[in-house]
Amino acid sequence: MKTVLIGSVESSKIVLDAMINNAYPPEMVFGLDPQYSSNVSGYVDLSVIAEKHDIPCMTFRNINDQACVEQIKAISPDYIFVVGISQLIKEDIINAAARGVIGYHPTALPKYRGRAALPWLVILGEQESKSSLFFIDEGMDSGDIIDQETYLIGDNDYAHDVYHASNEALERMLERVLEKLKNDAVEATPQNEDEATYLLKRTPEDGRIDWSAASDDIYRLVRATSRPYPGAFFFYKDHKVIVWEASVHPNTKYIGIPGQIIRSDSGTIDVLCMDGILRIEDYETVADFRFIDGNKFK
């Protein structure tokens, strides 16, 4: 069984490592070129790993470019793994795999198909999800499911915690799936379209904090958009402030306007919310300035 791997992030690396460790290396690796990776959260240069293990590698800007398609067709792979890229795979590549193109999605498909899955899971307050391997078709995460593995999301987990949990689930699942591939024993189950839901695209602007929101909602936004994502943010006197870590505390003493600074020091900032206090514990600013107690964030 000949395979090809296409990817650009940590989950792609997990697949490549698992293939190598299970004596089932791909015929060729296609990795996103580093010069086009600036907007890719958690980018990994797969060419470094491929070269270390003497696996042919080709970098790309757009995987659907003719040069990539021709190279894939020349390999005549049985399976193509497409893991960790946001580009939609077109028909030429799908048809190049004799037995199918395998994709990965960190949700319990058919629930939560679509974009920015991990931030959405935190924002929605989900406590359990599944990593899914499935056959890619021309729809959005809609192909037959090969395997799924459950992982948990804690009440105080940040995006990177969920990222690691989903990747660990992927790693566990790959042990089973790669063994089935080697033995030509892969089976897949169609998704129930009646149960399908879709996550729409998120942009960095969606991380703007609305101080009139409930403190728990703001806290979930901070956790959901924290590293490796762009971060939740607000403005103070026209200066952008990115919040990486925070906590929620009850308010029994302070009366004011949501977004008003209760107290600030060199390490933390307490901000009045509609129903409590958000304590900002890790933040980033471009300019050097001090916060003044009683001032209000935009």
Largest CA distance in the chain: 70
Q: Return the exposure string of 150-189: e unless at least 16 CB atoms fall within 10 Å of the residue's CB, then b.
A: ebebeeebbbebbbebbbebbbebbeebbeebeeeebeee
- pLDDT surpassing 90 at residue 21: yes
Q: Order the strands of the 3-7 sheet from edge to edge.
A: 57-60, 28-32, 3-7, 79-83, 100-105, 128-135, 145-152
pLDDT tier for residue 288 given thresholds of 50, 70 and 90: confident
User: H or E segment at 105?
Assistant: strand 100-105
CATH number listed for the domain at residues 204-285: 3.10.25.10
> In the chain, what are the helix, strand and coil shares in percent, each to the nearest 5?
30, 30, 45
- Tokens 């989950």 correspond to what residue? 11
DSSP secondary structure letters along 19-63? HHHTT---SEEEEE-GGG-TT-TTB--HHHHHHHTT--EEEES-T
CA-closest candidate to residue 269, choices 235, 242, 293: 293
pLDDT mean over 1-5: 95
pLDDT at 36: 93
Averaged pLDDT score across all residues of the chain: 95
Per residue in 189-207, pLDDT tens? 999 999 999 999 999 999 9
Rounded CA-CA distance 130/147 in Å is 10
pLDDT at 211: 96
- pLDDT surpassing 90 at residue 1: no
Surface-to-core class of residue 52, CB atoms within 10 Å of its CB (0-12 exposed, 13-18 middle, 19+ buried): exposed
Rounded CA-CA distance 194/59 in Å is 38
CA-closest candidate to residue 141, choices 151, 150, 152, 130: 130
- Give the tokens for residue 38: 């600036």
Rounded CA-CA distance 220/122 in Å is 6
Q: What residues does each domain of the chain span? A: 3-199, 204-285
- The CATH superfamily holding the domain 3-199 is Formyl transferase, N-terminal domain (3.40.50.170)
